[in-house]
Structures are given as C-alpha cells and as structure tokens.
Amino acid sequence: MSKLEVRNLTQTFVQKAEQLPVLDDLNFSVDDGEFVALLGPSGCGKSTLFNIISGLLAPDTGEIYLNSERISGNTGDFAYMQQKDLLLPWRTVLRNVLIGPEIQGEPLDTAKEEAQQRLVQLGLSGFENSYPTQLSGGMRQRVALVRTLLFRKEFLLLDEPFGALDAMTRTVMQSILLDIWAEARQTVLLITHDIEEALLLADKIYVFTARPATLKAEIPVPLPRPRNVTDTALIHLKSELLALLQVEMSRVFDAD
C-alpha cells in the first residue's frame, strides 16, 4: 500500500520577473515502510518537492496523498531534516534535540533518556551541554538528525543528511541510519547526490530530470543488506544510474 502519492505536481517561481519552472507534472509513490532515495542534478527541484510535501510551500498544481487521504499544508505527519541544520544557537545540544517532544507535550524525562541514547549512538556523547557554535558542521548535522528522530514520526524526509560529513563518518552514519530504520520501519524519503549512498541505503531510487524536474526513471534495488560497493550487482546499478544522470547533467550545462 502506498504511504505517499505525489500526483501531477508542478511548481514555478518568479525570478527577476521571469518564470522559472521547477517541477513539471511530477508523479511517484512511496510504499509504507519503504526507504526511497531521490537522485537528480543539483538545483532540479528536490528540496522544493520536500517543502511542498511537508506543507511549507503550496504547489501551483497537483496533489499529495498520505495514507490515501489528500493533504495540504502542515499536517504534522512528517519529520523533516533540511540541508541546513537550523539548530537554535541559544539552546544546548540536549535542548535542541528535545524540541519535538516539547512541542508535542511529551514527558521530558522519558524523552531525555531516548535523547541521551541517540546522542551516544551518533557519537555525540559528552556534548549534551555544548552550544551549536561549539560544534563542527558535521556534528551539527548529527544533532539535527537526532532532533528529527525524536519527533517520532512515521515518515522521515531527509534532505542530504550526511552531506557535511567526511567519508569515514558518512559510512558509519549510513549504517546507523539503516539500523534505526530496520528497528522502527519508518517510511524514509532521502535526497542525496551520492549514487553509492542511494544504492547502499534505498529499496528504490527515483531519478529526476534536470529542472524542471519530472520523473526520468524508477530503479529498484533488490539487493540484501548490508550492501557493499564492490558487489557486482551494485556496480551494475551504479553504471546504469551514472548513465542516466550524465544525460541530465549535460542538459544543465547545455542550458548554461
């Protein structure tokens, strides 16, 4: 059963008095408990899509369905981790990650226990009382991920959650995210520019065209986890994805 359906979505912005089409008749679905990755050229509209799904932005046309019901605006059903960490500088790490439980009126004693466990799990033990300005960019991103998880939503929107991390830390974080997903079976929609990351994590990959984005291809990843970038099947899928994306990247540069 589809958890999320995006139907005929279009979006155009006005930039310097000119029309800038961003999304063009975009259609796709995400099944309940599925881990789906979105790939496409930079600037093609993936983050705009997340803003529409989460209710931060209204589309020009098109519809979004969650659990077979049409949604519009902020429904509170999504935990959304944006590219920027958006941590509140006047709050400590612990108080930043507790924003979700505070907003939802949950008992903070229980929430603090889970927060401490997640901070340890993501390598942030000992930084509970630090402020965002005292952390590296990668650490701030990890704090933002803990905050997102503590909203305890069934659907996660993750916009390049590991983009600011070094290669080794990113590998560890990918493994941790998979463990968390396997434990809770949340539905995950992930934006990434890293083909290997998409292949290591996702059940299915949607490839978007250059702006204005529409769906170019749907690539299932029917490989058992944990996966290895040296696996022959994964290498084959990587080649297929590279070929698709290279065509779209050439369109970006031709347009420039």
Write the secondary structure of the chain as one string of H (helix), E (strand) and C (coil).
CEEEEEEEEEEEEEECCEEEEEEEEEEEEEECCCEEEEECCCCCCHHHHHHHHHCCCCCCEEEEEECCEEECCCCCCEEEECCCCCCCCCCCHHHHHCHHHHHCCCCHHHHHHHHHHHHHHCCCCCCCCCCHHHCCHHHHHHHHHHHHHCCCCCEEEEECCCCCCCHHHHHHHHHHHHHHHHHHCCEEEEECCCHHHHHHHCCEEEEECCCCECEEEEEECCCCCCCCCCCHHHHHHHHHHHHHHHHHHHHHHHHC
Evaluated on CA atoms 14, 20, 24, 30, the torsion sign reads negative
Neighbours of 41 (CB within 10 A): 23
State the pLDDT at residue 117. 94
State the pLDDT at residue 255. 59
State the pLDDT at residue 166. 85
What distance in Å separates the CA atoms of residue 141 and residue 110, rounded to the nearest whole number?
23
Compute the C-alpha angle 88/89/94, nearest 5°.
70
State the pLDDT at residue 194. 94
Phi, psi at 57, each rounded to 5°: -140, 140
Residue recorded with tokens 């944990």: 226
- Our CA dihedral for 16, 41, 181, 141, rounded to 10 degrees, sits at -60
State the pLDDT at residue 254. 67
Structure-block tokens of residue 229: 């970038």
Burial (CB < 10 A; 0-12, 13-18, 19+), residue 240, is middle
Q: Which residues of the chain have pLDDT under 50?
A: none
State the pLDDT at residue 256. 54
State the pLDDT at residue 163. 83
Neighbours of 2 (CB within 10 A): 16
